[in-house]
Structure 1
Amino acid sequence: MSKILSVKKISKTFRTKNKDFHAVTNVNFDIHAGEILALLGPNGAGKTTIVSMIGGYLLPTSGEVLVNGKNRYQNKKKPKIGIVLGGDLGFYGRASAFDNLLFFSDLSRVPHRQQMDEVNRVLGLVELSNVAHKKVQFFSKGMKQRLHIARSLLGNPPLLLLDEPTSGLDVEIANEIHDTVQKLAKKGVAILLTSHTMSEIEALADRVLLIGAGKIFSSGTVEEIVAQSNVHHIDRPATLEESYLAIAPQLRRS
């Protein structure tokens, strides 16, 4: 699989009058095509700062972010990245899903001649083709979240950033989002996931990065992270949640 995202020694320092705050320090990782990588750590660990630097909302103090080998900050034509923040906002409720995406395809610099085909393509990817001409104000939360994912896929970006993609959704709808994310990965999209839902990470992540105090504490598959925690049961394997709770105090100190 080809390397889609390469994060090289990125750091972010926020300067204040009293002292500097090192939010992220020398973080390195890669994501390959079709891979789902999850960032896991306590609040304040630096996950949002890392995602913001990759997404282009924050400039790193130092280091590089490469997408398909191109520097995210030094190229005039920035590499495309799909970003899903979710929630009920972000769309025109009185307009249809199709018309909303047609508007955003223009903002995503999709060539005008290709826009209608592109909107139909992304609606199909998230299985919303049958409600393409329904007003978004009548969409359920799950449908709106899938529409957010469709919007992020306009222009066919190789990398997708998912920030708490099922926050506030019930189990059934969350499972629908999981199915959508897995289908995208199978199509070769590289995905960076942040979530506080351990079952979500267990279901989706190929690899997990444990983040503490702005640094990578450890990395591995879910099974490897569980093994690192040294949590054992006689009658069953430890869960990721049990393992994370055992490791969390070290993350806060790291």
Structure 2
Amino acid sequence: MSTKALELVGVERWFGHGSDAVHALRSVDLEVPAGSVLGVLGPNGAGKTTTVKMASTLLEPSRGSVLVDGIDAVRHPRAARARLGLVLGGDRGFYLRASGLENLRFFATLAGLSHRHAESRIAELLDRVGLAGRERQRVETYSRGMRQRLHLARAVLAAPALLLLDEPSIGLDPEGTRDLRELVRELRASGCGILLTTHQLQEADELADALVVIDHGRVVSRGSASDIAAAGGVDTVVTFATRELLPATRARIEAHPHVVDLDVRPRGNGHEIDLVGCGLDTDLLRAFGSELRIDWVTRRPVTLEEAYLAFVARRGTP
């Protein structure tokens, strides 16, 4: 097993030719070390799913190299596929008139699992994804969340070196989302490398060891959550409650050089206010004196969601 579950070097993908070509990815470099989770963030249409499809051999890169567990996925796609699991979700990928159990047995055969190993592995995974007791029902009767759980079971049947998860929590209820996150942690601990694309930033914050942000087909930021926060010019949130926030006072707070964003929520007879910025301290509120009647005030680090939104807002500023 390679120390890198996935490596993309200079990967580009375009559709069409000449002046009509549409570039989906431009010079993307990324890697997923074995036993780690890489979170891929970005708006719709940024190129996240295209990245997953090329990593999974569903699409060939127009330029660049893709290595799956050390295997050249362009030259040897079949060997690469044997080393990875993929969750794209949706209704495709299963025989709908067959049961969940029959589907998993079929895919276990394709993966080369012996009958004995397949039966024990399937039973283990059905229990792990919460489908034990429902496995003999036809897939066409499954809810969207149940089908997503079946996708997860199918993806990890052969204990892949690389697991590709494209928006895996879509359609899952809170219990299913919790089970998914526990499964990801277990797989990471076993040495599996995982690439996770998600719009659920709390999910990325909880699971990812490193992050990349893709926009318009390019990697525009990479590193930890704190690196994304630094790129967005934020690191702290000061929250306070006040009974009244005059427009003039709000304008003065927003004009403070260290305040990047201000969010006001109703709270009882007054307001609860988040100040998002860099190097903020509760002492800054003293500058507004009698303009603010503060009931209480707290200070904390920014969340990944706040960091990401600040980063996106900064990139959108000319």
TM-score interval, normalised by the smaller of the two chains? 0.7 to 0.9
| Counterparts of 1:33 and 1:130, CA distance in 2 | 33
* 1:96 to partner: Cα distance: 3.8
Greater CA drift, 129-138 or 239-248: 129-138
Q: Counterpart of 1:244? A: 308
Q: Give the number of the structure whose residues are more often strand, by fraction.
A: 2
Shift of 1:151: 0.3
Task: Give, in angstroms, the shift of residue 186 of structure 1.
Answer: 1.6
Question: Which one of the candidate residues 136, 143, 153 is aligned to 2:156?
Answer: 153
Q: Structure 1 residues 187, 125: CA separation in 2 closer, same or farther (over 3 Å shift)?
A: farther
Deviation of 1:112 (Å):
5.3
Please report how far the alpha carbon of residue 168 of structure 1 lies from its aligned counterpart in structure 2 after TM superposition. 3.1
**Separation (CA, whole Å) in 2 of partners of 1:158 and 1:190:** 6
Larger radius of gyration: 2
Residues in 2 aligned to 1:169 and 1:125: alpha-carbon distance in whole angstroms: 14
Change (3 A) 1:111 1:72: farther
Deviates more, 1:126-135 or 1:184-193: 126-135
**1:197, distance to aligned residue in structure 2 (A):** 1.2
Query: Which residue of 2 is the match for residue 120 of structure 1?
Result: 123
Question: CA contact under 8 A between 1:93 and 1:137: conserved in structure 2?
Answer: yes
- Note closer, same or farther for the CA distance 1:55–1:218 as it changes in structure 2 (3 Å cut): same
Supply the AA of the counterpart residue of 1:37: L
CA contact under 8 A between 2:42 and 2:48: conserved in structure 1? yes
Matched to 1:222, the amino acid is: A
CA offset at residue 74 of structure 1?
0.8
Q: TM-score, normalised by structure 2?
A: 0.70
Q: Return the alpha-carbon distance in structure 1 between the equivalents of residues 156 and 315 of structure 2.
A: 34
Residue 88 of structure 2 aligns with an amino acid whose one-letter code is L
CA distance in 1, matches of 2:77, 2:180: 34
Deviations 1:8-61 (A, max 9, x none): 111112224643322211111111122111111112221111111111111101
2:173 is the alignment partner of 1:170: yes
Q: State the structure with bigger RCO (CA 8 A, min sep 6), 1 or 2.
A: 1
Q: What SS does the corresponding residue of 1:147 show, helix, strand or coil?
A: helix
Aligned pair 1:197/2:200, yes or no?
A: yes
- Compute the displacement of 1:249 (Å): 4.3
1:233 and 2:237 correspond: yes
Partner of 1:78, secondary structure, is: helix
Write out aligned runs for 1:62-211 (5 A). Answer: 62-75=63-76, 77-79=78-80, 80=82, 81-88=84-91, 90-92=93-95, 95-111=98-114, 114-123=117-126, 125-126=128-129, 128-129=131-132, 131-133=134-136, 136=139, 141-211=144-214
Determine if the alignment matches structure 1 residue 5 to structure 2 residue 6: yes
Q: Distance in 1 between matches of 2:20 and 2:141?
A: 49
Between 201-210 and 235-244, the greater mean CA deviation after superposition? 235-244
Aligned residues: 254
1:161 aligns to what SS in structure 2?
strand
Partner of 2:249: none
Deviations 1:225-244 (A, max 9, x none): 22332223231211222221
Change (3 A) 1:109 1:116: same
The alpha carbon displacement at 1:121 in A equals 4.6
In the alignment, is the contact (CA less than 8 A) between 2:73 and 2:79 conserved in 1?
yes
Identity value in percent: 40
Which structure 1 segments of 5+ residues have no match?
none
Q: Deviations over 1:105-151 (max 9, x none)?
A: 22334355643344335435545456544554565554432221110
- Per the alignment, in what secondary structure is the counterpart of residue 176 of structure 2? helix
CA RMSD of aligned residues (A): 2.7
CA shift for structure 1 position 196: 0.9
